[in-house]
């Protein structure tokens, strides 16, 4: 059983992996801050949160990059540095693998509208019901009942 103080330390570790100041914190440093051995920390983190600390940290970096790419005027190189990558190449490869498109494609697709509204487009922050609404707009839930049925009456 995981005791409450260990659970709380793991939650703090998750915060440290995501919200670093100048450069991404190393997994060993977070393990030390949690008062656990590196091996035990990695194993426990994965069992509780479903991914290793390293996987979590790189996902957090990509999430931050997504926001910066479309909500600020920063260049792709600046975003790459800002989220803690030193090589544009490895940033682009990881971004493409995670998001399914390159940083520049992502920026092109979502930035123009988001910059005006200063918030993420709804398609990137779905809620349960908005997802369902998205489905019915595409007609996948309502094929048997065309949306314009009332118009033809």
Partner 1 sequence: MKIKLSSIMVENQATALAFYTDILGFKKSKDIPVGEFRWLTVVSPDGYPDVELVLEPNANPAAKTFQEAMFKQGIPLAAFEVEDIEAEAKRLKKSGVKFTTDPKQQGPVKLAIFSDTCGNLIQMYQPPQKRT
Q: Closer to partner 1 by CB, 88 or 94: give it.
A: 94
Long-range contacts of 119-123 (CB under 8 A, 24+ apart): 119/71, 120/67, 120/70, 120/71, 121/70
Which residues inside 70-99 make contact with partner 1, applying CB under 8 A?
A: 99
Which candidate, 39, 36, 26, places its Cα nearest to that of 6?
Answer: 36
Nearest distance, CB of residue 50 and partner 1, angstroms: 3
Q: Which is nearer to partner 1, 8 or 37 (CB)?
A: 8
Stretch that binds partner 1, among 68-76, 86-94, 134-142, 143-151 (CB under 8 A): 134-142
Rounded to an integer, what distance in angstroms lies between the CA atom of residue 102 and that of residue 75?
14
One residue of 21, 50, 117, 145 binding partner 1 per CB under 8 A: 50
C-alpha span between 101 and 93 (Å, rounded): 10
Query: Which one of 124, 142, 146, 147 is in contact with partner 1 (CB under 8 A)?
Result: 124
- Altogether, the residues listed in the chain come to a count of 153
Q: How far is it, in rounded angstroms, from Cα 123 to Cα 121?
A: 5
Q: Which residue has the tokens 């409450």?
A: 4
Nearest approach, Cβ of 58 to partner 1 (angstroms)? 13
Contact residues toward partner 1 (CB under 8 A) are 1-2, 4, 7-8, 11, 14, 44, 47-51, 99-100, 123-128, 131-132, 134-135, 138, 140
């Amino acid at each position: 059983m995981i005791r409450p103080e260990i659970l709380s330390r793991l939650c703090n570790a998750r915060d440290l992996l995501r919200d670093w100041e100048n450069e991404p914190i190393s997994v060993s440093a977070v393990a030390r801050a949690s008062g656990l051995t590196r091996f035990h920390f990695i194993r426990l983190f994965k069992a509780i949160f479903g991914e290793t600390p390293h996987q979590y940290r790189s996902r957090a970096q990509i999430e931050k990059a997504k926001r910066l790419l479309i909500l600020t005027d920063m260049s792709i190189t600046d975003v790459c540095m800002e989220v803690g990558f030193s090589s544009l190449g490895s940033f682009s490869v990881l971004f493409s693998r995670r998001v399914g498109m390159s940083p520049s494609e992502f920026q092109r697709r979502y930035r123009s509208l988001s910059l005006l509204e200063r918030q993420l487009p709804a398609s990137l922050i779905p809620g349960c019901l908005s997802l369902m609404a998205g489905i019915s707009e595409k007609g996948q839930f309502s094929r048997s009942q065309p949306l314009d049925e009332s118009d033809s009456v």
